[in-house]
Structure 1
Amino acid sequence: MATPLVARRLREGQLKQSPIREIMKLADRRNIIAMGLDPDDVISFAGGWVNHKAPEELRAEYSTISDDPVLFHELGAYSPTRGLPNLREALLSVDATLYGTRDLSDDNILVGGSSTQLTHTLFTTLLDPGDRVVLFDPSYANYGPQLNLGPEGTEIIWLPVFDAERWAFMRDRESIVSSFQALVSEYDPRLLLFSSPDNPTSRLIPDDVFDDILRIAEEADCFVIVDFAYRAQCFTEVVPEHFSASPSEHPNLIRLHSNSKWCRGLGRRLGWVEAAPHVIEALEIVQQSTALCPDSVHQYALAAYLTKALSDGSLQSYMNETNARYEKAARHTTECIDRYIGMPRLDPQGGLYTVMDVGRNGDEFVREVLASTGVIFVPGSGFGPSITNGVRISYGPLVNNLDRIEEGIRRVGDVVDKC
């Protein structure tokens, strides 16, 4: 009996799992046992998630919904495709109050099921077959696979932003800007996509580089999508100016936001996009045929919480407190690397990660370290060619257990010369 086949892109291996998912499979409990290790003794620095508590006031809003039969029933209905109006209003107020973003109105925002879903929706909305997309090297590991799911023939153009010899991110401003100008002139890309703070490096794009890149892209009719998944985890004393860059002033600028990191809403999936009105209108058409609408319960609870917490100042206090915890974990992680391993690493300016130079193929290093220590890192190769000899180390899941961070780094330091 003939068996129908899945899509050609999957059959021919064009669509691959992310390196993070591959490592998580390698760290599966059964595989760990087969390696002769105790699964309960494994220390993972692989996960890209936060581990602080969500606001108690947000949890209370969910209790209100569940305790009110009428409200619970009403929220079983479809929301508008662009999201609940009160959530859109609350999100815009948060952006204006906490970050100073100017002149955004309801025409500039759409709420979706998650930033992952919205990234794919943006690709469907903005790209035609054969279009070119510029990604930083290195970049978030999921951008490439998502682009491969986009219009047929989409081509990725890498913009090197990492100096592997000096182990430095965006060290040479003039070189990066001139390289982007050259890529724009040669390839005529449709869009540029990057995150700030960056994943995997947890470094910020300098404001002057951001301004120059945005200007060059605008002159070339190229969209710039900034993924602000880690904007709430920023460790600099002064908030970067590009955090408040507005699509009202730059119609080619698209701001992508996630509910996952700042309030630990990883499983309470929501995301939103801020962009020029014509982009939002087009996104709404696409979302009608894909996600239809975001989850009504999550939207209602988040809108109710944000409206109250922004007004009474508790939102800013909560964000300051959680941000301080990740900054402390970041500093502790890098200090432990210096003390026990002594390999070059980056100082995080935000986010959940640092990237360490292991001096050889990171994929091999990760597997050998796991087998000999029970410690899990993520190889750098999945983020771009420039950090093939590196590993990403996440302190996010261990933010509540600094001793566990130190124990994991110490174990690696004990065997690093043997790997």
Structure 2
Amino acid sequence: MLNSMPSYAHSITSRLPQVGTTIFSVMSALAQQHQAVNLSQGFPDFDAPAELLSLLDQHAKAGHNQYAPMTGVPALREAIAAKVNALYGAQYDVEAEVTVTAGATQALFTAVAAMVHPGDEVIVFTPVYDSYGPSIELQGGKVVYAHLTLPDYKPDWDEVARLITPRTRMIMLNTPHNPTGTVWTAEDMQRLIALVRDTDIVLVSDEVYEHMVFDQARHESVMRYPELAERSFVVSSFGKTYHITGWKVAYCLAPRELMAEFRKAHQFIVFTVHAPSQYALADFMKRPGWYEQLKALYQGKRDIFRQALSGSRFELLPCQGTYFQCVKYGAISDEGDRAFVERLTREQGVAAIPVSAFYPQGDDHGVIRFCFAKSAATLEKALERLIKL
């Protein structure tokens, strides 16, 4: 019996001693406990396109159920390369520069694992998506934090310049940005170009919300800028684009020298990705007009959400992209953001995420994040409750 066996817990030294249960799991569990409307985790509560689900069924029944190639099904890699060429004017070799991954988090982790050595420094921007820091620390790297400042959460490029040292190996960027919903501009990209020019710094560009940029703005992918593309791993997500977060299929693009290193790590981290999903996605990507429809869908939901809260005591922060809306709640409560979202869940029946969870030291600016990637009925129910505060 286990109880009779000696305990070795005293000899375990954690490599991630500060990491516990994620705030997303905590808030979703609390929402379920109190039967609250869950606007905390970033996933849609509506289904994927019926055509895509039908294609998945067709390919599974057609026998595409064994290992896919390590780099991804050729037809899907071809579709990805065609997409980024059409959207951004970027050309990637299908055989050497495009890899299908088991979700975007795996792609981000693999890029870090492939490039970061013990003692290397990696600059990330806070508030920061929670997988970046642990990915760096597990490789023995040092996380260096640059700050996106309220109310518009724009990068301070003078601060970034000060943070770059001879040990800087990588900069990780995320636009459109989770959790803040802000979008980097062409000027931001030019400042980044100037900073990394004549350095060996590698970039990891998390662009999973690339198709959710609002108000006629343009997504400034690093792929639009040859000086950035030549040193970048670019990551995007089918889960975000096609409402299929549970499929965990994404991709990474990089110049062949970088991708060769990426694939060395990829083959031992995950090796291959669910085959029927890849065939289905390759077929569905031929459908015209999807990206425009997606942008219109989420801008419509954002506008409904913001209009409903505009007369409330919540202070709306800018939302230029993604499917997240950040708000300040100082006119309602002086509680810390974690205490406020927990009470909001228990008493008002709406779950949100405290933005302090995206800061390494838990910096609390009185800001919380809602996800509006929800059905009209879900949003209506949540908004009815929120505007009463």
Q: How has the CA–CA distance of structure 1 residues 242 and 63 changed in structure 2, closer, same or farther, with 3 Å as cutoff?
A: closer
Match of residue 160, structure 2, among 180, 190, 194: 180
1:194-234 CA-to-partner distances (Å, cap 9, x unmatched) read 21110011110112112211331243311111111111111
Judge conservation of contact 1:214–1:253 (CA < 8 Å) in 2: no
Match of residue 168, structure 1, among 143, 152, 162: 152
Matched, 1:353 2:324: yes
Matched, 1:394 2:365: no
Unpaired stretches in structure 2, ≥5 consecutive residues: none
- Counterpart in the other structure of 1:199: 178
- Counterpart in the other structure of 1:43: 37
- Counterpart in the other structure of 1:370: 345
Matched, 1:15 2:9: no
- Counterpart in the other structure of 1:102: 90
Instruction: Work out the CA distance in 2 between the residues paired with 1:408 and 1:92.
Output: 45
1:255-286 CA-to-partner distances (Å, cap 9, x unmatched) read 11111111012111211111111111111111
Q: How does 1:136-175 map to 2 (within 5 A)?
A: 136-148=125-137, 150-152=138-140, 154-163=141-150, 167-170=151-154
Deviation at 1:319, TM superposition (A): 2.6
Judge conservation of contact 1:118–1:272 (CA < 8 Å) in 2: yes
- Counterpart in the other structure of 1:330: 302
Q: How does 1:286-365 map to 2 (within 5 A)?
A: 286-306=265-285, 308-309=286-287, 313=288, 316=289, 318-341=290-313, 343-359=314-330, 360=334, 361-365=336-340
Q: How has the CA–CA distance of structure 1 residues 298 and 4 changed in structure 2, closer, same or farther, with 3 Å as cutoff?
A: farther
Match of residue 118, structure 1, among 102, 107, 132: 107
1:15-74 CA-to-partner distances (Å, cap 9, x unmatched) read 323222222233342xx3xxxxxx2xx122202113454233322222322443xxx1xx
| Matched pairs, number | 377
Judge conservation of contact 2:84–2:91 (CA < 8 Å) in 1: no
User: Could you state the TM-score of these two structures normalised by the residue count of structure 2?
Assistant: 0.89
Q: How has the CA–CA distance of structure 1 residues 104 and 407 changed in structure 2, closer, same or farther, with 3 Å as cutoff?
A: same
Deviation at 1:321, TM superposition (A): 2.3
Judge conservation of contact 1:161–1:169 (CA < 8 Å) in 2: yes
- The alignment partner of 1:349 has SS state of coil
- Counterpart in the other structure of 1:229: 208
- Counterpart in the other structure of 2:28: 24
Q: Which amino acid aligns with 2:106?
A: Q
Judge conservation of contact 1:47–1:396 (CA < 8 Å) in 2: no
- The alignment partner of 1:396 has SS state of coil
Judge conservation of contact 2:37–2:378 (CA < 8 Å) in 1: no
Match of residue 245, structure 2, among 266, 282, 286: 266
Deviation at 1:127, TM superposition (A): 0.7
Match of residue 127, structure 1, among 116, 129, 132: 116
Judge conservation of contact 1:247–1:253 (CA < 8 Å) in 2: no
Deviation at 1:188, TM superposition (A): 3.4
Deviation at 1:370, TM superposition (A): 2.2
Instruction: Work out the CA distance in 1 between the residues paired with 2:385 and 2:208.
Output: 26
Judge conservation of contact 1:379–1:388 (CA < 8 Å) in 2: no
Judge conservation of contact 2:46–2:375 (CA < 8 Å) in 1: no
1:144-197 CA-to-partner distances (Å, cap 9, x unmatched) read 23334x213x2221111213xxx2221xx7xx1111111114x73211112111
Identity of aligned residues (%): 19
- The alignment partner of 2:205 has SS state of strand
Instruction: Work out the CA distance in 2 between the residues paired with 1:399 and 1:51.
Output: 10
More helix by share: 1
Unpaired stretches in structure 1, ≥5 consecutive residues: 33-38, 414-419
User: Could you state the TM-score of these two structures normalised by the residue count of structure 1?
Assistant: 0.83
Judge conservation of contact 1:45–1:375 (CA < 8 Å) in 2: yes
